[in-house]
Each structure stands twice: as structure tokens, then as C-alpha cells.
A and B are shown apart, each in its own frame.
Chain A
Amino acid sequence: RKEVEQDPGPFNVPEGATVAFNCTYSNSASQSFFWYRQDCRKEPKLLMSVYSSGNEDGRFTAQLNRASQYISLLIRDSKLSDSATYLCVVNKGISSGSARQLTFGSGTQLTVLP
């Protein structure tokens, strides 16, 4: 089983649609969770951290379910500029130097169509 698994997509949605991405992780000791965004031929950039209580940033909502080891990202009212690959990212846990090691999912590709 991969440490972080995502549906690769691609997701092709019309402007204004709501789209949800899911991610599962295998290490129950993981403490930190993130969604990164990577545009074509660019570097990954942090989109948002994911907290147990769920968190929202504008049109983006992230949820974490520790019991199921599941993370989600919801994008409402999608824009053309949301087209990118969304990477689910999980840290390894709190022991030793590996705590700082992030494991990246392979990404979910989103294309928002006009």
C-alpha cells in the first residue's frame, strides 16, 4: 500500500462547479497534513494545512478524518485559475529527524473548463 494515495484524475469540470478530492494515508503516526498545488512546469506551493477540526480558506475547505486516515479538499465555485495538480502531503510522524520528512501523493489533476 502506498503511504499516500490519491485519485490521479484527471478531473475536468466546468467553471463554477464544486469538486472534491480525496486522499488516504497509511501511517497512523502522521501528525501534519497539507494540500499543495502544482501548476504545470512549476514548483509545488502550499495551498493549505489540514486540521482535525476542518478548516476553510475562501472557496477551499479541507477536512481530516484521523480514524479513517482520510483527507479531503473541496473547491467551491471553481475558477479557470484553479486548474492545476493538487498534491496531498503527510508527514512521517514525530520520532527523530524523519518527523520533518513529508510524503507526497502522486497528485490529482484538475482542469476547469470555460
Chain B
Amino acid sequence: DTAVSQTPKYLVTQMGNDKSIKCEQNLGHDTMYWYKQDSKKFLKIMFSYNNKELIINETVPNRFSPKSPDKAHLNLHINSLELGDSAVYFCASSQFPGALISTDTQYFGPGTRLTVL
């Protein structure tokens, strides 16, 4: 049973193209995330949605637009792809209880390896 799934797993495309990555979680979590892991393996958060509402939006070019049609899905659309966008993109999810303190455990998808030529 896949908890957090992403498609596609690999994406090779030309500079200037527009592409989308899809993410789905079947854990019943309210919060979903997109992370970018660059060639130096540094994992950096891009966006976070809680129950379809954007709650974290780090400094990311506006060519990147997340969309959450429901709390189980968070897609990432990228316009006008650039060479520097080449990276592995991870989707993740976690519980978002009403209490302030939670376990904050995040479950990651398998990643989408994006190569821009």
C-alpha cells in the first residue's frame, strides 16, 4: 500500500517547457508539502498546504505554482523550465492536529527526478 505516491518518477524535458508533477497521499493527513533536493543533497521546503489552504510559501520563483484540489492531492506545475530547476522534487504529508505540539513526522513520496536540458 503506497502511502505517498508521485508521478512521474523521472521527467526529462527541454528548457522553456511547462510540466506538472502529481502527488497523492492515502494516509488521511491534512498537510502536504513540496520539497526540492538539489545536486548537493540539500532538502529545502518550497510549499505547504493544510486542508487545501497554502500555509507555507518559501522564496520560490513564481514559475512554480502548487495546486491542491483536495487534501489528499498536491500537484506542482512549473512554467518555463530552466536548467537550474533540475533536481529531485519530493512530496510529503503529515498530520495537522489542532494541538500545538504534534509528532510532526513527515512521510515522503519516492521523489520525481527532473532533468532540464
Which residue numbers of A lie inside 8 Å of B, CB to CB? 31-32, 34, 38, 42-46, 49, 85, 87, 91, 94, 97-104, 106-107
Contacts and interface: CB of A to CB of B under 8 A. Distances in A.
Interface of B: 31, 40-45, 48, 50, 55-56, 90, 94, 96, 100-111
B111 A100 contact: no
B101 A102 contact: no
8 contacts: A42-B110, A43-B111, A49-B103, A49-B105, A94-B100, A102-B106, A104-B43, A106-B41
Contacts of A32: 101-104
A100 B110 contact: no
Report the 4 A-B pairs with minimum CB-CB distance, sorted nearest first: A97-B55, A43-B108, A104-B43, A32-B104
A60 B82 CA distance: 42
A1 B96 CA distance: 30
Contacts of A49: 103, 105
A110 B47 CA distance: 30
Contacts of B109: 43
B105 A34 contact: yes
Contacts of B31: 100
Given A38-B41, A45-B108, A106-B42, 8 more contacts: A32-B104, A44-B90, A46-B105, A94-B101, A97-B48, A97-B56, A100-B96, A104-B43
